[in-house]
Amino acid sequence: MDRAELAAFLRRRREELRPEDVGLPVGARRRAPGLRREEVASLAAMSTDYYTRLEQQRGPQPSEQMLAALARALRLSDDERDYLFLVAGRNAPSPQVISTHVAPALQRVLDRLNDTPALILNNLGEILVQNRFAEALYGDSSRFTGLARSGIYRWFTDPGERLIYPEHDRDRQSRAQVANLRAAHAAMGPQSRAGELVRVLQRESAEFAAIWDRHEVAKRFEDHKVLVHPQLGEIEVDCQALFTEDQSQMLLVLTAPPRTEAFDKLQLLGVLGTEKFVS
């Protein structure tokens, strides 16, 4: 671990960002350029003290999870992310492993979407980052670990995961989930996390195994769907998807026409927050 270089790199990347680059309000006049340390810490979901010690060459060696969070908070490119890992004494993420590092181009778009649900997923159905409207609709994705991080895995192992869709639409959603995973499996290979997910689901879900044998392949979400919110009821939304060049990540934006009941319900999500997620 090169403490001096890690500190200098973090400080320089922080100073080169502006609040508007990461979706934060500009606010009052700043005495120094760039983001404040507490802003980076908040974006990375870590304490300000922990981040400050890294910049002051006093912190412990960051875990891979911490480094990934910092890379996302500082909007690092893939090359910059790899460099961050290396100067911190960690191996750079293998290109054979699905990346949890959010594509900067998608992140920049998401930062500007603050009035409708929007989220970024990888091709295993893992939510990498979501705005507050999406969190109010889907729940806080950060609570999941292991295979459960994949929405595809949860769909076939947790009945509660299906409640967000009307009952009549769930069979179609099952097929869409499997078709998406088959595309990821082809791209990543049988020894990848996609391959592991397929093997586990074939053991744990007879429904998954039967659909897998149909050999259906698809990457796109439906452009129009109905979602069910515990308090607001059914919400009819249009879905727009923006993919990275390698198709490994997707920005999904949910909208409804202005002056409609669905539009009003989406706006209410920002007011309700995540208070609904109580057993």
What pTM, to 2 d.p., does this model score? 0.72
pLDDT at 233 > cutoff 90: yes
Average pLDDT, the chain: 87
φ, ψ for residue 157, nearest 5 deg:
-125, -15
pLDDT value at residue 277: 46
pLDDT value at residue 279: 37
pLDDT value at residue 186: 85
pLDDT at 118 > cutoff 70: yes
Q: In DSSP terms, which residues pair with 250 in a beta bridge?
A: 121, 243
**pLDDT above 70 covers what percent of the chain?**
92
CA distances from 188 to 16, 26, 55, 155, 203 (A): 35, 41, 36, 21, 20
Q: Which long-range contacts (CB under 8 A, 24 or more apart) does 194-200 make?
A: 194/98, 194/123, 194/124, 196/147, 197/124, 197/147, 197/150, 197/152, 197/153, 200/147, 200/153
Q: How many CB atoms lie within 10 A of CB 35?
A: 24
Mean pLDDT along residues 212-217 = 88
pLDDT value at residue 27: 67
87 contacts: CB under 8 Å, gap ≥ 6? 1, 2, 5, 6, 9
Report pLDDT digits (tens) over 17-70.
888 778 777 766 767 678 889 999 988 889 999 999 999 998 889 998 899 889
DSSP state of 94: P
Report pLDDT digits (tens) over 179-190.
999 988 888 888
